[in-house]
Amino acid sequence: MLRIGLLSLLVFTSVWAHKINLFAYDEAGLLYVQSYFTKSSPCKQCVVKLLDANQKELLAFKTDDEGKASAKLPSAEFDIIVEAGMGHQAQTHYVAQSHTKEETKTLPSDMPLDKMLLGLVIIVFFFGVLYWIKRKPSHT
Amino acid sequence: MHLSEGLLRPEILIGGAVVSAAFTLYAFKTLKDDEIPKTAVLSALFFLASFIHVPIGPTSVHLVLGGIVGAMLGFRAFIAIFVALLLQGVLFGFGGLTTLGINLFNLATPTLVGYWLFMLPTTKRWQKDLLWFLVGFVPLALSAFLLSLTLALNGDAFVDASKLALLAHLPIMFIEGFITLFALRFIEKVSPHLLHVKEHYVTHRAA
């Protein structure tokens, strides 16, 4: 009975040793992540992924040897996944406190009209030059 | 539809660049001055089409409209698409300079099939409508197939992505088929001379 009890304790400890704890907070537009198995065993060089609502990857980076990492907030709301390999991972949904509207405004637009207009001007210019080159021999 | 830089093996990039460069240079060399305005307009159309995105499942695809470009330009489609792809890469990072050759090959070569379909003789209205639908549908299907093939040739790790690329473009094939059908019908109504591509090229060849 004692043997079974000790064995169970060992297995149980082993299970907990593989459980990844994930702790995150944000301040001034920066996300801080800390991940660990136990207090004395940080999740070293683990891959941290930030995913949007469609599970599309927004950002990926690694923790340092203390299990810590930081990155610029990519959006106001996302999922954080920490992967420790061998199928071990922790996941949490995160709502940022310091993601300001100004930051959202600076995110690149899908349709930057100025560049689209520039593209059209270049097309007109390019084919204009081509027309001039192609017409030249017929005038001489 | 735009393969990004740093993804493909050098032999695929070089192969695509060599073939596309040969086709494009030939198209530039044989381009007549009176074909230039139409080539410019269709280059602009192709350039703008890629900004119309359609979300499908976890991914997003965009319009290509290669069928219309091919039908109205024939081999000159290589020039129109080359210029548009170059600008999309430089200004927006769609694709890139190293992948310009393979992207041009994947997108422009199928438009020649669109041109061939457009040239087929028809006697009835429904036959013409069906062909014009296929002018939009088939080139995009072939482009999606070439895109998938490129990814699959790049390595086993890309096989899943290649299947997804093909499936994701299936709805767009139908959308482009109908857009092409209605666009060509509209052009036929307002400026039918623009569709007289066949006579145009026959005249040039004879000259």
**pLDDT at residue A41 greater than cutoff 50:** yes
What's the whole-number average pLDDT of chain B? 86
Lowest-confidence segment of B85-94, B134-143, B178-187 by average pLDDT: B85-94
In 3-state terms, what secondary structure has residue A93? strand
What's the whole-number average pLDDT of chain A? 75
Closest A-chain CA to B49 = A116
d(CA B177, CA B159): 27
Closest B-chain CA to A132 = B33
pLDDT bracket for residue B28 (50, 70, 90): very high
Instruction: Identify which has the larger pLDDT, A20 or B92.
Output: B92
Question: Domain total for chain A?
Answer: 1
Contact B127, B141 (CB under 8 A): no
CATH code of A90's domain: 2.60.40.10
Question: Domain total for chain B?
Answer: 1
Q: Confirm whether B160 is domain-assigned.
A: yes
Exposed, middle or buried, B27 (CB in 10 Å: 0-12/13-18/19+)? buried
pLDDT tens, residue by residue, B114-135: 999 999 988 899 999 999 999 9
Q: Confirm whether B1 is domain-assigned.
A: no
pLDDT of residue A13: 39
Q: Confirm whether A85 is domain-assigned.
A: yes
Q: Which domain holds residue B173?
A: 10-194
Q: Confirm whether B203 is domain-assigned.
A: no
Q: Confirm whether A135 is domain-assigned.
A: no
d(CA A84, CA A90): 9
**pLDDT at residue A17 greater than cutoff 50:** no
What are the chain B neighbours of A117 within 8 Å (beta carbons)? none
pLDDT of residue A140: 47
d(CA A67, CA B92): 36
What are the chain B neighbours of A126 within 8 Å (beta carbons)? 40, 83
What are the chain B neighbours of A134 within 8 Å (beta carbons)? 31-33, 36
Q: Tell me the shortest Cα–Cα distance from A128 to chain B, in angstroms.
A: 8
pLDDT of residue B139: 95
Q: How do strand A47-51 and strand A57-62 relate by DSSP bridges?
A: antiparallel
**pLDDT at residue A110 greater than cutoff 70:** no
Q: Which domain holds residue A30?
A: 20-95
Contact B42, B27 (CB under 8 A): no
The tokens describing A130, both together, are 């081509």
What are the chain A neighbours of B33 within 8 Å (beta carbons)? 131, 134-135, 138
Provide mean pLDDT across the span A36-55: 81
Q: Confirm whether B149 is domain-assigned.
A: yes
d(CA A55, CA B56): 14
d(CA A17, CA A35): 13
Helices and strands of chain B, counted as H and E runs: 9, 2
The helix or strand, by DSSP H or E, that contains position A139, with its residue range, turns out to be: helix A113-139
Provide mean pLDDT across the span B37-54: 90
Q: Confirm whether A107 is domain-assigned.
A: no
Closest B-chain CA to A127 = B40
Q: Confirm whether A47 is domain-assigned.
A: yes
Identify residue A127 by its one-letter amino acid code: F
Q: Confirm whether A90 is domain-assigned.
A: yes
Instruction: Identify which has the larger pLDDT, B67 or B7.
Output: B67
Provide mean pLDDT across the span A42-59: 85
List all residues 6 or more positions away from A137 whose beta carbon is below 8 Å from its beta carbon: none
Q: Confirm whether A11 is domain-assigned.
A: no
The tokens describing B25, both together, are 């240079």
pLDDT tens, residue by residue, A53-92: 888 888 888 888 888 888 888 888 899 988 876 556 778 8
**pLDDT at residue B86 greater than cutoff 60:** yes
Q: Confirm whether B200 is domain-assigned.
A: no
> Which one of A111, A120, A130 has the shortest CB-CB distance to B36?
A130
Provide mean pLDDT across the span B103-119: 94
d(CA A90, CA A81): 6
Q: Confirm whether B4 is domain-assigned.
A: no
Selection from B23, B60, B28, B66 nearest residue B45 by Cα: B66
Q: How do strand A30-38 and strand A68-72 relate by DSSP bridges?
A: antiparallel
Other Cβ atoms closer than 10 A to B3: 23
Sheet holding A89-95, edge to edge: A57-62, A47-51, A77-83, A89-95
ipTM of this predicted structure: 0.84
Provide mean pLDDT across the span A13-35: 72
> Which one of A56, A119, A135 has the shortest CB-CB distance to B47?
A119
> Which one of B33, B88, B92 has the shortest CB-CB distance to A134?
B33
Is A134 within 8 Å of B31 when comparing Cβ atoms?
A: yes
Selection from B84, B62, B145 nearest residue A111 by Cα: B62
Q: Confirm whether A109 is domain-assigned.
A: no
Looking at the DSSP bridge assignments, the partners of residue A94 are A78
Q: Confirm whether A126 is domain-assigned.
A: no
- Which phi and psi angles does B13 have, rounded to 5°? -65, -45
pLDDT of residue A85: 61
Is B37 within 8 Å of A131 when comparing Cβ atoms?
A: yes
d(CA B32, CA B73): 12
pLDDT of residue A8: 44
Q: Within an 8 Å CB–CB cutoff, is residue B40 touching chain A?
A: yes
Lowest-confidence segment of A114-123, B7-16, B39-48, B89-98 by average pLDDT: B89-98
Q: Confirm whether B125 is domain-assigned.
A: yes
CATH code of B159's domain: 1.10.1760.20
Residue B100 Cα distances to A2, A109, B12, B14, B40, angstroms: 70, 24, 12, 10, 19
Using only C-alpha atoms, chain B has a radius of gyration, in whole angstroms, of: 17
